[in-house]
Chains A and B, each alone.
Chain A
Amino acid sequence: MSFSTELLIKVLVVLATAPVMALGLTLLEVKGSAWMQRRPGPLHVGLRGFIFPLATAAKYLQKETIIPNDVDEPVFKWAPAWVIAAVVGLFTIIPLSPTLIVRDLELGVFFLLAISSISTIGVLTAGWSSANKFSLMGGLRAAGQLIAYELPLILSVVGVVIQAETMSTVGIVEKQIEFGFPFVIAGQGIAFIIFMIAATAEMMRTPFDMPIGESELTMGFFTEYSGIRFLIFYISEYINLFVMCAIASTLFLGGYHVPLLPTEWVNFYGPLVLIGKTFLLAFILIAIRWSFPRFREDQLQTLAWKILIPLSLLNIMATAIMKVVF
């Protein structure tokens, strides 16, 4: 198979999986929140409400795209593309098994951090071009937040990289298999918590949802969006949730591997294991979202700069010392 055909197939597979995962997580969110709030949740669309997310997506596709008068039109129209490109791009390095991966990059983790920060551009331009003060404030809040939480995200992963001695995601999983324990138990517990907090902030989910801040800024940076462009923002939120949780399970929870299962069958059970772990992590984030209020902007920055970053630096030092000693 030539490189270009292979690439085409991989791209098509990713483009097919990403929205499906997002729809699955949307369903998990609506059902999970309903369960937490003692209400039935969606019941009537399809089989006991199970195709509700699809119906929601279809609804947005039908809706008219409204472009307000004063917006900077090209920037406004392209902003959702930046966001979704950044999150879908991250699928490249998620290993479903040692071979089922778009590309096992040598610098996989570095790629993750580089690509994930692209969405900042989309969010900021969306806020700026909307010609709405609430959007602008949402965009600026998002920019500040994404920059602040990029650091703990990077620094918490550095510990893993030191321990695994590789940046390739497959390599990191293989190291955990070789080690016998996932990194969350074997030394990187704090890094895992920091990573999850920083990832929640990156995804702009409650308790870090000030850029959207429904009760403050209406809908934050995507207040003015409607129709398919709103859907793109909405769906990229859930793709991002999937990707971040998948990466967290790869880096910290042993990825596609479960003990006691024969490794030669990994191509069959690997994807299921990874998706299972991902949904488990996602459910924790969903439970957090529905039980906490949101922080204030300054409290969020304090948390990042005064607690998470020093902690992750300490984690790096501790990991490095342990690495040298043992």
Chain B
Amino acid sequence: MAQTMDPNNMPILSEASVSVEIETEDMTLNIGPQHPSTHGVLRLVAKINGEKISSVEPVLGYMHRGYEKLAEVRTYPQVTTLVNRIDWVSGFANEIPFIAGAEKLMEIEVPERAQYIRLILTEMARISSHFVFNGAFPLEIGALTPIFLAMEDRERVLDLLESVTGGRFHPNFNRIGGVKPAAGAGPTTKKDIQDLPAGFYHDTKVAMQKVLEAVDRFEDLIGGNEVFQIRTKNVGVLPKEVAEEYGVSGPILRASGVEFDLRKQSNYLPYDKFDFEIPIGENGDCFDRWSVRTSEMRESAKIILQAIEDMPSGPIQAKVPKVIKVPKGQTYVRAENPKGEMGYYIISEGGLGPYRLKIRTASFSNISILPIMLEGALLPDLIAIMGSLDFVLGDVDR
């Protein structure tokens, strides 16, 4: 006893206490592929220390459907059906860059009216996609009510999409050189071809007013909620530089403060004729990602209202040969989809279908940021961050 109390022995004692420190081992937690908030079949292999995440490895491919390969044995018009199903939350928007690419290779001038219809429907797809986000993100954080309101509001937009294209999720509406005559447009004889269903302009105006109201309501109900704010502000901060390095695009990139929107910087659709703003975030946290998307809905509604006002008349289909053959060449056309940049690299050997089709999807690049963002985060933050990235597994795996 006397010996241990001797001050000379104290250093030895403290060394001893260091050596008996309990060694802990990180627990491996498999989040997914079946988990309520992985948006389908994403699997995250997380190493966790208590609630803290030390590393995360996303495992993809549970939903791989081989669309790039399938496209090689299909004709161009048939591929449109496939690409609908990549990001099913905004099916219509997926068609645009592919069709635009094929048209670019064929050097077809698309009639202005067809372009306007495409633009309106793309923006509707964006609104419906962001409605889903506005329901699903709070749901993941634990608020169960917004999803019902969001789904109800989204239905108005989907009804409009359905009235034009005949499909709610998979419109398959674009044709090379234009768009298909609308589903509800009555008899389509060669002479008297109708493109939009009766009452479409009026219904759209009403629906867009409802969308604007819904956005106000969401900003109040979700954004104004204190618990939502403390769960999302300063959580999952994505710095500008990191976002750019990893090829992140869409609302996530803009939430980090980068002003990059292909609607302004590219000309795949006549966006330059409309007056709209690009919402930019400041901190790049989960709250900014939510708020950028919600503001985007408002801008999209504005674009649609403007497009309805000065809708040009004229044909909706350019003259194209009966059998569509795309001349030899390659092109890459990209578009601003609700989830981010989507692009198709088409290589044509002059056949009926693409020789090779490379699909660049937004969600795939966006979730590449997950391991960086989740390192050191808490488990509940993992859910919040994952929700704020708003990916769709069909868009990740293709």
Q: List A residues at the B interface (Cβ < 8 Å).
A: 33, 36-39, 133-134, 137, 206-207, 209-210, 213-216, 218, 289-299
Contact = CB atoms under 8 A, between A and B. Distances in A.
Contacts of A291: 143, 145, 225
Nearest to B384: A296
Contacts of A213: 142, 380
B141 A290 contact: no
B246 interface: no
Contact of B152 (A38, A134, A299): A38
Nearest to B141: A293
B42 to A, nearest CB: 14
Interface residues of B, number: 28
Interface in B375-392: 378-383
A215 B138 CA distance: 10
A44 B230 CA distance: 40
Contact of A38 (B143, B149, B230): B149
A289 B143 CA distance: 8
Residue of A213, A292, A299 most packed against chain B (CB within 10 A)? A292
B187 interface: no
Interface string B212-242: 0000000000000101101100000000000
Interface in B112-171: 138-145, 148-149, 152
Interface stretch (B29-37, B79-87, B195-203, B299-307): B29-37
Contacts of B145: 33, 36-37, 290-291
B378 A207 contact: no
A308 to B, nearest CB: 16
Contacts of A290: 144-145
A295 B231 contact: yes
Contacts of A134: 29
Contact of B36 (A33, A37, A214, A292): A214
A216 B380 contact: yes
B231 A293 contact: yes
Nearest to B222: A293
19 contacts: A37-B145, A206-B143, A209-B142, A215-B36, A215-B140, A215-B141, A216-B380, A292-B143, A293-B141, A293-B142, A293-B143, A293-B225, A294-B141, A295-B230, A296-B381, A297-B51, A297-B380, A298-B378, A299-B230
Given A38-B149, A215-B142, A216-B383, A294 B227 contact: yes
Contacts of B227: 207, 292-295
B27 interface: yes
A218 B32 CA distance: 10
Interface in B352-390: 378-383
B225 to A, nearest CB: 7
B39 to A, nearest CB: 11
A206 B139 CA distance: 12
Contacts of A39: 148
Given A215-B36, A294-B227, A133 B141 contact: no
A296 B379 CA distance: 9
A244 B149 CA distance: 31
B375 to A, nearest CB: 17
B380 A296 contact: yes
Nearest to A212: B142
Contacts of B143: 206, 291-293
B184 to A, nearest CB: 28
Contact of B383 (A33, A206, A215, A289): A215
Contact of A297 (B27, B35, B228, B378): B378
A133 B29 contact: yes
B31 to A, nearest CB: 9
A296 B380 CA distance: 6
Contacts of B152: 38
A297 B138 CA distance: 17
Contacts of A295: 227, 230-231
A48 to B, nearest CB: 20
Nearest to B226: A292
A169 to B, nearest CB: 33
Given A207-B142, A294-B141, 14 more contacts: A37-B148, A38-B149, A133-B27, A134-B29, A213-B142, A215-B139, A218-B36, A289-B144, A291-B145, A295-B227, A296-B231, A297-B378, A297-B380, A299-B230
B86 to A, nearest CB: 25
A210 B230 CA distance: 15
Nearest to A291: B145
Contacts of B36: 214-215, 218
Point out which of A38, A213, A216, A294 has the most chain B C-beta atoms below 10 A from its C-beta.
Answer: A216
A133 B31 CA distance: 10
Given A292-B225, A296-B231, A210 B380 contact: yes
A218 B31 CA distance: 10
A215 to B, nearest CB: 4
Given A137-B379, A216-B379, A294 B142 contact: yes
